[in-house]
Amino acid sequence: DVQLVESGGGSVQAGGSLRLSCAGTGIHLSSAFCVGWFRQAPGKEREGVAVISRGGGGTYYADSVKGRFTISRDNAKKTLYLQMNSLKPEDTAMYYCAVKAGYCGPQWSQPSRIKYWGQGTQVTVS
């Protein structure tokens, strides 16, 4: 079975930073063509935050996080990261690690194209 396990969530004041990590079992994240992060706030639909290509050279970000969040992957450690700076209350959500079916591309943010999901880690900004 494939499992994606997120860590690094928590509560932080506005303007603060957090770094999320994601590791996989039953899957080599380093070989996945496109991996990334989604989030879902209460009462809202799940939305794409950022994705990164296998080689790390291609990244896509939601407009709402550009310039504040940075996605990266360490293929040697088979781990995905999301560095979140200048956090805002509107960033409060459950954050999910995701493995997309196929390559990253213009439709990267569609949850329907995700093959595997993690269980999520809560981020609360006050």
Over the stretch 11-28, which tens digit does the pLDDT of each residue have? 999 999 999 999 998 888
Mean pLDDT to the nearest integer, 49-65: 93
Mean pLDDT of 70-90: 94
* Range 44-70 average pLDDT: 94
Q: What percent of the chain has pLDDT over 70?
A: 100
- Whether 71 has a pLDDT exceeding 90, the answer reads yes
Q: How many CB atoms lie within 10 A of CB 26?
A: 9
50 contacts 73 by C-beta, under 8 angstroms: no
Q: Which whole-number Å values give the CA distances from 75 to 6, 22, 24, 105, 119, in the listed order? A: 16, 12, 12, 20, 21
- C-alpha 81/C-alpha 8 separation (Å) is 10
Report the C-alpha gap between 54 and 90 in whole angstroms.
Answer: 29
The pLDDT value recorded for residue 75 is 85
pLDDT of residue 76: 87
Which segments within the chain are labelled E, that is strand?
Answer: 3-7, 10-12, 18-25, 34-40, 47-53, 59-61, 69-74, 79-84, 93-100, 114-117, 121-125
Residue with tokens 């989030």: 39
pLDDT higher than threshold 90 for residue 69:
yes
Summarize the confidence of residues 41-61 as an average pLDDT. 93
